[in-house]
Amino acid sequence: MTIIDGKLTAKNLREKLAIEVAEMKSEYGVQPSLTVVMVGDDPASQVYVKNKVQQTQAIGMISSEINMPANCSQSVLLDQIKALNHDSSVHGILVQLPLPHHIDESAVIAAIDPNKDVDGFHAINSGRLFNGDLGAMVPCTPQGCVLLIKQHLGGDLSGKHVVVIGRSNIVGKPVAMLLLQENCTVTITHSRTRNLPEVCRQADIVVAAVGIAEFVKADWIKEGATVIDVGINRVITHDGKYKLVGDVDYQAVIEGCGAITPVPGGVGPMTIACLLKNTLLAAQATISKRSV
């Protein structure tokens, strides 16, 4: 049984990206830059943004943060995004979600230039991914899941049966599309799926993106299967402290599966590493445009 080390894989990816960033700077004088827009002061979002900014700078990219008040209007936020779209020194734009309730998230995502949409949530990028267009800006967490699966099982995933639990636009659907591109047989399951344990037992690979702590049980997993746990759930322990657990009953599943990602230290670290990768791709695209 292998514990898939997302922390190490993410570190290796960041090191590789740092070399590419330095090369881009010396060859073309371009330093990739990411701007994170945050509305309000949600503590969890603040931690995520701080991590993103730190890791962006650590690999030699430019990172800036725009903080807007929680009561900022949608039109002010859209104007800010328009300005960033037109600013050629900004390669990647990320609006930290969730946004306050008075702001329509989908309108905000739609306002981001698809070529700067490093989260990969814009409908143009979802469409590109759906069409199998390799130029798509792919959402970071699904990208991280696939990198971990490929690293563990080797490059060729042809014919593997993957059961994805969850059909969200940010994890379930895009990870299913990516695995389809890898020639997997993909089953997407969700809250209305019947006989979920039985469906899961058929899988060579299970990707759990449900948002329910320790939801996937040991007897749902075929012996030797690979389990990718996307979930991040904060639960209270017996002594009143908080801890993070995934969507998989890790201690039980670990007994029979072939490989599993831990929480924390599995998919989580890959998400930011893939955000950096997308920022580099966005910057590279501006260089190829210049040289055409």
61-90 positions binding ligand NAD, by CB under 6 A = none
In the complex, least distance from residue 216 CB atom to ligand NAD, rounded to whole angstroms = 9
**Which among 52, 116, 173, 222 is annotated as catalytic?**
52
**Alpha carbons 275 and 33: distance in angstroms, whole number:** 12
Question: Is there a catalytic annotation at residue 247?
Answer: no
- Compare residues 68 and 209 and give the one whose CB is closer to ligand NAD: 209
Q: Does 166 sit near ligand NAD (CB under 6 A)?
A: yes
Sheet holding 259-260, edge to edge: 2-3, 259-260, 226-229, 205-208, 161-165, 185-189
Binding footprint of ligand NAD, residue count (CB under 6 A): 25
Q: Please identify, among the stretches 126-134, 150-158, 160-168, 218-226, the one whose residues bind ligand NAD according to the rule CB under 6 A.
A: 160-168
Question: Is there a catalytic annotation at residue 119?
Answer: yes
Instruction: Report the residue closest to ligand NAD, judged by CB.
Output: 168
Peptide bond just before 69 cis, omega within 30 deg: no
List the one residue from 143, 268, 280, 281 that touches ligand NAD (CB under 6 A). Answer: 268
Q: Does 227 sit near ligand NAD (CB under 6 A)?
A: no
**Which among 55, 80, 116, 119 is annotated as catalytic?**
119
For residue 198, give both structure tokens: 């039985």
Buried b (16+ CB within 10 A) or exposed e, 113-140: bbbbbbbbbbebbbebbeeeeeebbbbb
| 3-state class (DSSP) for residue 63 | strand
Peptide bond just before 197 cis, omega within 30 deg: no
Q: Does 94 sit near ligand NAD (CB under 6 A)?
A: no
CA neighbor of 36 nearest in space, from 91, 106, 104: 91
| 3-state class (DSSP) for residue 43 | helix
Q: Is the dihedral of CA 135, 137, 142, 147 positive or negative?
A: positive
Binding-site sequence positions for NADP(+): 166-168, 232
Question: Is there a catalytic annotation at residue 52?
Answer: yes
- Compare residues 136 and 215 and give the one whose CB is closer to ligand NAD: 215
| 3-state class (DSSP) for residue 273 | helix
Q: Does 55 sit near ligand NAD (CB under 6 A)?
A: no
The neighbour count for residue 201, using CB atoms within 10 Å, is: 16
Q: Does 196 sit near ligand NAD (CB under 6 A)?
A: yes
Q: Does 206 sit near ligand NAD (CB under 6 A)?
A: no
List the one residue from 233, 265, 285, 286 that touches ligand NAD (CB under 6 A). Answer: 233
What are the residue numbers of the active site?
Answer: 52, 96, 119
Q: Return residues touching ligand NAD (CB under 6 A).
A: 141, 165-168, 170-172, 189-191, 193, 196, 209-212, 230-233, 247, 267-268, 271
